[in-house]
Amino acid sequence: MKSISKRIPFLLAICVTVFFIMAPFIAKWIALHPSFKGALSQAHLITDFIHNILIYPFGQWVKSAWKYAIVFPYWFLVFSLLSILISKTKKIWKWGFIISLCLYLFLFIFPNTLLWFENNNQSISKGSVSNGSVKYAKRIPLRGDNYTTYSFTCYLLGRTFVHEKVRDATLEAYEICEKTCPKTKFLLGETGTKHGGRFLPHRTHRNGMSIDFMTPLKKGNKKVGLSYWNYNVFNLFGFGFGFDDQGKSGKREIDFEVVALHLQALEKAAKKNGLRIKKVIFYPKLRNKLLATKEGEKIKHLPFTKNPVIVKHDDHYHVDFAPL
Ligand SMILES: [Zn+2]
């Protein structure tokens, strides 16, 4: 057993190195996923991103060929130091693990405890959605009567912060939906970080004014129950569903009427909170289907993007808000 544990840093470093070498192929595979369209030209950006993360912070200083040379020694050193640290502090790790697990479960049951630590300062949005930041952003509560967040872990990691007015408008819109589409459980997607700024893998979401809403779905006449079983890491928390031009993905189908009702509610709630909807991104072919529905007629005036965007926006729709 001992000899195996001694080899673990070596074996783990080999795994990371193989992943590093495979990065261009992984990037190509990601770029060819149906959720992205025409993004193959962007594959090198994904490769660079993976490479730079894996040899952080050296990626920005060394040239491409040297990156391949340093990845193994870098990770061998990291894993060796970690294994020494773990062996010297076994008891602390054991208790650390137990306490973290208890805390994780406690927060899953009482997620709003985290909101107690937020200050009451008014949120301030600076700059644009693609080059801005936000001060005193607030977390959107993990779940409500008719919605939940796409991932509890990502909620803990602080990926659902927004400007307080955007939070209020979002929550009030869900309240409206309790009356207009009472059978639907909604799923909140990614929004942004506490201080805004760069929010990978998104290009925008930087000033607390952007939200991704996961597209409401149905199976035949039944609404698709939203749960962590349907939305998990294997389908990128729902961001990995690929829909055809009819809005279908296997047995799942986009509930266009509900998307329209939700956007109507968002517009109403935004106005009440001194905001307006500045932009809605939804895959153009599906947008036409959405606007052709009875409820869709009422949101024709919303500022849907005309220009194509790299990410398909079928499994989710993106909304940018702005002051009235
Ligand atoms: Zn988005």
Digit-coded pLDDT (tens) for 84-140: 888 888 888 888 889 999 999 999 999 988 888 888 899 999 988 888 889 999 999
Residues 153 and 238 reside in one and the same domain: yes
Residue 143: phi and psi, rounded to 5, are -150, 155
Domain boundary residue among 61, 88, 115?
88
Residues 141 and 52 reside in one and the same domain: no
Judge whether 257 lies within some domain: yes
Distance 257 CA to ligand 1 centre (A): 21
Q: What pLDDT was estimated at residue 307?
A: 72
Tally of domains within the chain: 2
Residues 166 and 297 reside in one and the same domain: yes
Judge whether 113 lies within some domain: no
Q: Are 121 and 163 in contact (CB under 8 A)?
A: no
Distance 223 CA to ligand 1 centre (A): 24
Residues 156 and 40 reside in one and the same domain: no
The average pLDDT across 31-52 equals: 72
pLDDT digits (tens, 9 = 90+) for 151-208: 888 899 999 999 999 999 999 999 999 999 988 889 999 999 999 888 887 888 999 9
Judge whether 192 lies within some domain: yes
Judge whether 84 lies within some domain: yes
Distance 99 CA to ligand 1 centre (A): 35
Domain boundary residue among 66, 88, 110?
88
Distance of CA 164 to the CA centre of its chain: 19
How many distinct helices (H) and strands (E) make up the chain?
Answer: 8, 14
Distance 212 CA to ligand 1 centre (A): 5
Q: What pLDDT was estimated at residue 89?
A: 86
Judge whether 172 lies within some domain: yes
Instruction: Assign 290 a pLDDT band (cuts: 50, 70, 90).
Output: very high
Residues 58 and 141 reside in one and the same domain: no
Q: What pLDDT was estimated at residue 43?
A: 78
**Residue 252 is encoded by which pair of tokens?**
């799942």
Judge whether 110 lies within some domain: no
Segment holding 35, helix H or strand E = none
Between the two ends of the chain, the Cα-to-Cα distance in Å is 66
Residues 76 and 167 reside in one and the same domain: no
Residue type, 249: S
Distance 288 CA to ligand 1 centre (A): 20
Distance 204 CA to ligand 1 centre (A): 7
Distance 202 CA to ligand 1 centre (A): 6
Judge whether 204 lies within some domain: yes
Domain boundary residue among 73, 88, 103?
88
Q: Phi-psi region for residue 20, left (φ > 0), alpha (ψ -120 to 50) or beta? A: alpha
pLDDT digits (tens, 9 = 90+) for 6-18: 788 999 999 999 9
Q: What pLDDT was estimated at residue 269?
A: 96
Query: How many C-beta neighbours within 10 Å does residue 219 have?
Result: 13
Residues 217 and 76 reside in one and the same domain: no
| CATH number of the domain where residue 185 is located | 3.30.1380.10
- Show the domain range for 40: 2-88
